[in-house]
Amino acid sequence: MSSLLSTIESPADLRLLTRAQLHPLADELRSYLLESVARTGGHLSSNLGTVELTVALHYVFNTPDDRLVWDVGHQTYPHKILTGRRDQMHTLRQLDGISGFPRRSESEYDTFGTAHSSTSISAALGMAQAARIKGEDRNAVAIIGDGAMTAGMAFEALNNAGVAEGRLLVVLNDNDMSISPPVGALNRYLAQLMSGQFYAAAKNVGKQVLKNAPPLFELAKRLEEHAKGMVVPATLFEKFGFNYIGPIDGHDLESLIPTLENIRQLLEAGSGPQFLHVVTRKGQGYKLAEADPIAYHGPGKFDPAVGLKPPTSTPKTTFTQVFGQWLCDMAAADPKLVGITPAMREGSGMVEFERRFPDRYFDVGIAEQHAVTFAAGLACEGLKPVVAIYSTFLQRGYDQLIHDVALQNLPMVFALDRAGLVGADGATHAGAYDIAFVRCIPNMALACPADEAECRQLLSTAHEQNHPVAVRYPRGAGAGVAVPATLEGLPYGKGEIRRQGRSVAILAFGTLLYPALKAAEKLGASVANMRWVKPLDVELLLELARTHQAIVTVEEGCVQGGAGGAVLEALQAEGFTLPVLTLGLPDVFIEHGDPAKLLSMVGLDAEGIERSVRERFSAIVDASPGLKVVA
Ligand SMILES: Cc1ncc(C[n+]2csc(CCOP(=O)(O)OP(=O)(O)O)c2C)c(N)n1
Ligand SMILES: CC(=O)[C@@H](O)[C@H](O)COP(=O)(O)O
Ligand SMILES: [Mg+2]
């Protein structure tokens, strides 16, 4: 390994280096990062952009005593490498390996667990206030991207922080990108701050302000020679009560370090909340990522010398692609359809929809709460909104779902991608809870397609309804079932029997139908593809309950409050007392790792389902040889 980086076991080692040594260190760090992510896959572009900022923050601040809180945390690989996890980078995002996000359990330098965006200012403010109350001599620093800054929560925190005492610094890492190009007025405003005209006008005012603090003024004067930016007031952040500094070049250590030292002094002098605007480039230092930061936002493994290559064989169609195609086809058929994404155009499969229907496409930025209520407004006026949102991110818009959508019974479709386990992103991104949190809301319906064909069909069924309907589907590809070209739906609220067996009836909700069918072969069990969690096909359920000795439910969602719970409630309401085994995600957070391995670990692959059924219903199963499959 290269010489300087290998000497850094912790930021304390970093702080022993001279300023001049930081430049080659940053170069080594960037190379190490690139090679490492190319081997494991992971969030690359954002991390390439935070190399110098990470070095500078750990150099100037006394971490871990001073608290660094990284927003989202997808840009913390340089931080991980410098904080004792360099040699674990090859395990990144893999089972039993280190997380792709900050984790308090992983390192004392990871002061706050993140992955959902826009929490950093709130958390850092809490830490700053705690330090003040406890009389502890420490600073708290939130590092937040321009994309994450668009969320309401970030502004709620600014609103609180700007008038609070405590040693808080907010660093805005502005790379003029979210995952896709940033949207909205804030983005336009930040661009304005960077414009030469504004900068020139503001610079002199900055000097005036600093004249009140002579030593800092001297420092600032020196800074001016080195830094592209300067201490300038900026309308918006100043109005929030922060001392705004910047914009400065976030790749220039000669700007970053003196500016941060200056700010540290301001914090320690009790000058109130500070706001530093740094400008970075997503993908910095790796030409291919600089040219296409979207493709390199979260790539799989690749050869850095060659870059990402198109797949050699035709990849399986993903659920996301099925949704994207359905959206375009339905939009062509229904001029009232509008599509909404909270900053997940690529991940939600809406690139083509935006291209073909730009007037009916809305990227609202990272703003899930707003996305849901905005769509509700569209629905009030007779449009047919389709909100494409990851299951995990709908958690952010839960009150809006209940209060603004369901209570008013507005006809809307929620396309819940990434339902179930997602793999490398781990517990923060798992779509584990949507069945439980959607099915308890009056007026809401929830469908769970078993495969790609049903995904399209159930989206069409959802679109036909005059109330809100969510359709949940997982990350990646499914059983590989051919997708029909028509827009015909499936019967609302109806499941089907897929295998006629006896004694045990397995009720599958969603894509686990396929492992359930496999298990049923060995068990001689019946299998129903339930398709809908709500409304539950009670008729089908009761028929199965009458003709079998035991029921098993299978779902890729939390067992507590899940589809199995709905089955139990329905059986109890009808006076059935036959035994029910509910299989799903257990009451623990499931870590990152290969999704197939994870499913196997929680007993939701074919073998696991068979094993659980045998364990629970051994006497029943052993007495019942298998019957035939219904086509
Ligand atoms: C609440 C929430 N919504 C959406 C996402 C998905 N997401 C992760 S990173 C990202 C872009 C963030 O942009 P920015 O903060 O500017 O960081 P950059 O990627 O530019 O480094 C998005 C939309 C998320 N993690 N959390
Ligand atoms: C950090 C973050 O929230 C996103 O970048 C997320 O990792 C994307 O996940 P997908 O790869 O499933 O789209
Ligand atoms: Mg950004």
From the CA of 426, the nearest ligand is 2
Residue 481 lies in a domain: no
- Determine the atom of ligand 1 nearest the C-alpha atom of 173: 16
- Determine the atom of ligand 1 nearest the C-alpha atom of 71: 15
Q: Average pLDDT in the 241-256 region?
A: 96
Strands in 361-363's sheet, in edge-to-edge order, are 361-363, 337-341, 384-390, 413-417, 469-472, 445-447, 532-534
Q: Average pLDDT in the 354-377 region?
A: 98
Distance (Å, whole) CA 226 – CA 261: 14
From the CA of 75, the nearest ligand is 1
**Domain shared by 465 and 516, yes or no:** no
Find the 209 Cα to ligand 3 centroid distance in Å: 29
The kind and range of the H/E element at 320 are helix 319-333
368 is annotated as contributing to ligand binding: yes
Residue 327 lies in a domain: yes
Residue 484 lies in a domain: no
Ligand 1 pocket mutation pick from 119, 179, 278 by most atoms within 8 angstroms of CB: 179
**Nearest residue (CA) to ligand 2, atom 1:** 74
Distance (Å, whole) CA 441 – CA 92: 38
Catalytic residue IDs = 282, 368, 396
Judge contact between 504 and 616, C-beta under 8 A: no
Whether the pLDDT of residue 52 is over 50: the answer is yes
298 is annotated as contributing to ligand binding: no
147 is annotated as contributing to ligand binding: yes
What is the residue range of 518's domain?
496-622
Distance (Å, whole) CA 332 – CA 235: 44
- Burial (CB < 10 A; 0-12, 13-18, 19+), residue 590, is middle
**Nearest residue (CA) to ligand 2, atom 6:** 425
What percent of the chain has pLDDT above 90? 89
**Domain shared by 236 and 367, yes or no:** no
Residue 125 lies in a domain: yes
pLDDT tens track for 96-123: 999 999 999 999 999 999 999 999 999 9
Whether the pLDDT of residue 216 is over 60: the answer is no
CATH value at residue 502: 3.40.50.920
Find the 174 Cα to ligand 3 centroid distance in Å: 5
453 is annotated as contributing to ligand binding: no
Distance (Å, whole) CA 422 – CA 587: 17
pLDDT tens track for 531-544: 999 999 999 999 99
Judge contact between 587 and 560, C-beta under 8 A: yes
pLDDT band of residue 311 (cuts 50, 70, 90) is: confident
Establish whether this prediction's ipTM goes over 0.85.
yes
What percent of the chain has pLDDT above 70? 92
**Domain shared by 522 and 462, yes or no:** no
Count of the separate structural domains present in the chain: 3
pLDDT tens track for 129-146: 999 999 999 999 999 999
**Domain shared by 399 and 432, yes or no:** yes
**Domain shared by 286 and 421, yes or no:** no
pLDDT tens track for 277-307: 999 999 999 999 999 999 999 999 999 999 9
**Domain shared by 334 and 434, yes or no:** yes
pLDDT band of residue 196 (cuts 50, 70, 90) is: low
Nearest alpha carbon to residue 118 among 31, 178, 168, 36: 178
Instruction: Fill in the amino acid letter for 224.
Output: E
pLDDT tens track for 560-605: 999 999 999 999 999 999 999 999 999 999 999 999 999 999 999 9
**Domain shared by 500 and 453, yes or no:** no
Distance (Å, whole) CA 367 – CA 492: 31
DSSP classification of residue 551: E
**Nearest residue (CA) to ligand 1, atom 4:** 366
Judge contact between 34 and 286, C-beta under 8 A: yes
Judge contact between 551 and 507, C-beta under 8 A: yes
Residue 478 lies in a domain: no
Question: Is 368 touching ligand 2 by the criterion CB < 6 Å?
Answer: no
Degrees to nearest 5, angle at CA 234 with 230 and 237: 120
